[in-house]
Amino acid sequence: MIDEVLTPDSARFWPIDSYEVGKSQPSFDKQYVRDYLESIKWNKQPPCPELPPEIAQATTARYLEAYELMTGESL
């Protein structure tokens, strides 16, 4: 529950310029991290792998972009 209460529900927002009916949409949520962890075949057992800086930065960029698109303001 904590994950749902304290994070924006940004998974329901997609960039309109890349939206395609019937296809998986690029999202503004932590799916990017999930996709990375799947790509390295993490077995989902502790300890979790450390995220490379580029994955952390790209995830941050997605959340900032979602914020800016929804509010029209920069952080």
Q: Which domain holds residue 66?
A: 2-12+26-71
Distance CA 43, CA 59 (A): 21
Residue 21 falls within a domain, yes or no?
no
Domain count, the chain: 1
Cα torsion angle, 8, 6, 48, 38, sign: negative
User: pLDDT tens across 52-68, in order?
Assistant: 999 999 989 988 988 89
| Assigned domain for 65 exists | yes
What digits encode the pLDDT tens for the residues 40-55? 999 999 999 999 999 9
- Contact (Cβ atoms closer than 8 angstroms) between residue 59 and residue 31: no
Task: Enter the pTM of the model.
Answer: 0.69
Residue 19 falls within a domain, yes or no?
A: no
Q: Which strand (E) or helix (H) includes residue 61? A: helix 53-71
pLDDT at res. 57: 94
Gap between the Cα atoms of 68 and 75, Å rounded? 8
Q: How far is CA 59 from the centre of its chain?
A: 6
